[in-house]
A and B are shown apart, each in its own frame.
Chain A
């Protein structure tokens, strides 16, 4: 007499694996295999017509460490993350608090904040070009009203990275606002009433009650913003191409350049491995620190 429960379990297992097979095939082809292959490629020399590729161990990594551009690009990316993440999050919070309060023209305000989210970064680059162009750009014209000299925002190393950061903040803040808005709407109104009865000011209510309740959302946004500080580089192609003299170059752009402009796949692979390491640490942080506290099963 076969065990019915065991039979059912076996059937479930077969169904489960069948349902997941298409996904696993695709993930293996375009995520897992390329990850392993990247590590592999990073250990071999760049093949030329005369010399085939050969195993070189960590030489490509050594090359990176000796490459001053790599350090500059890494530093740029740290600044990029350090500037865009906190500013986007604070702006997103302000936007959400405003869009959630009783202000005039609320729906217009909310739409205006959110609109950049649906625009491609390439288009955003074009839109901002009009602001940054020296001489007749909008920023220069506003500056001229106050007697400020013309500034070549994108053309000088001191300002190029900041100009790039501004576009990213503009693109991201409205997107993050949405998550705060969602969280704000789950805060029960009695809390506000109770605070008012206690005589707490609106500021105290926001700081003592709203902000702590938004903490899980902030962590979620933080992880997303960190990922974005690696990913959001499209506007570089329009605005600066990483220049002038690499002053606004970011890691992913440099990876692209190494692989498809300099045809140095091993260098690009070595850098990709480092980026994957950072993203992996971020994933571990998400799984082991954040998820442990905000359980959603």
Chain B
């Protein structure tokens, strides 16, 4: 037992090194010529050539813009819908509320990913093919977000609510002046989870986009790296590093908030 105790820190460290090694190798390959990269020639010169090749190989600027617009519009839609619904579930009493809540929670299991066949038809009929809105719309009424907001609004002290009402605030006024500010940490947590989910989402965006005008980064990257394109491992690595860089930097800078966000999102 004592031996295990002694070697545990090394096991932990070893696992950590294994865990980030794919990322480290990608960085290494991205900054070296492919022959140097695969031979692990440590003395090889560093180069930006792979990034230049990758950048010229696809409309990345368009993809970045699309991903940015996608993440922003999903977030706005989610904030709006989940705030209203979460407030309704937390602070308004009416018949049928419990049934509705179960219906909403069902969406945690009826994943938009699984419904791609019919959602594609819906998106076609609504004219949402090849649009940013088409990629984002199925995710806006998020059961997960509604659940989070409901929990956050439930913990707001009733006195604050009553005080605002006595001051003459309308229902939406109370929501906006009292509940939304009180739930700020929950919004931040939800935003970080949502941004990383949709920056990384792939299957539905692949299905609903047919050209580069609306394609997000993940779909662009998968097309760029396809074997038919014959790009070498260093160029693929450079493109991959480019795609993950914004989120990775965001994560490393706001690490504490990120972990807190996923924690807050996970604890019910």
Residues of A bordering B, CB below 8 Å: 9, 12-13, 15-17, 19-20, 22-24, 26-27, 29-35, 37-38, 41, 91, 94-95, 98-99, 101, 103-105, 108-124, 126-131, 133, 136, 138, 141, 170, 174-175, 178-179, 181-182, 201-203, 220, 227, 230-231, 233-234, 237-238, 252, 255-256, 259-260, 265, 268-269, 272, 275-276, 279-280, 282-283, 286-287, 294, 296
- Contacts A29-B122, A127-B23, A237-B222 known; A35 to B115 CB distance under 8 Å? yes
Instruction: Please tell me which one of the listed residues B80, B92, B118, B252 contacts residue A37 in the complex, with CB atoms under 8 A apart.
Output: B118
Contact A256 B17 (CB under 8 A): no
Determine if B111 and A260 form an interchain contact, defined as CB atoms under 8 angstroms apart: no
- Cα A19 to Cα B105 with chains together (Å): 17
Tally B residues with Cβ within 8 Å of A.
95
Q: Is the CB of B85 within 8 A of A19?
A: yes
Residue among A13, A23, A41, A141 making CB contact with B118, cutoff 8 Å: A41
Interface of A (DSSP majority class): helix
B231-268 residues with Cβ-Cβ distance < 8 A to A are 233, 236-237, 239-240, 243-244, 247-248, 251-252, 255, 258-259, 262-263, 266-268
Give the docked Cα–Cα distance between A113 and B94 (Å): 45
A to B CB contacts below 8 Å, 29 in the list: A9-B93, A9-B94, A16-B88, A24-B100, A30-B112, A30-B138, A34-B119, A35-B115, A110-B259, A114-B258, A115-B19, A123-B240, A126-B221, A126-B239, A127-B23, A127-B26, A127-B237, A130-B22, A130-B29, A141-B40, A178-B262, A179-B267, A237-B222, A255-B114, A269-B117, A279-B109, A279-B110, A283-B105, A283-B108
Contact between B119 and A119, CB atoms less than 8 A apart: no
CA distance A275 to B252 in the complex (A): 37
Of chain B, the residue at the smallest CB distance from A201 is B1
Q: Is the CB of A22 within 8 A of B218?
A: no
User: Smallest CB-CB separation from A133: which chain B residue?
Assistant: B233
* Given A112-B19, A131-B25, A260-B207, A118-B251 contact (CB < 8 Å): yes
Residue B69 lies at the interface, judged by CB distance under 8 Å to chain A: no
Which of A170, A280, A283: most chain B Cβ within 10 A?
A283
Q: Which residue of B lies closest to A33 (CB)?
A: B122
Q: Please state if B200 and A119 are interface contacts (CB–CB under 8 Å).
A: yes
Residues in B lying within 8 Å of A, measured CB to CB: 1, 5, 8-9, 11-13, 15-17, 19-23, 25-26, 29, 38-40, 80-82, 84-85, 87-89, 92-95, 97, 100, 102-122, 126, 137-138, 140-141, 146, 171, 196, 199-203, 206-207, 217-218, 221-222, 225, 233, 236-237, 239-240, 243-244, 247-248, 251-252, 255, 258-259, 262-263, 266-268
Asked whether, in the complex, the Cβ of A202 is within 8 Å of the Cβ of B5, the reply is yes
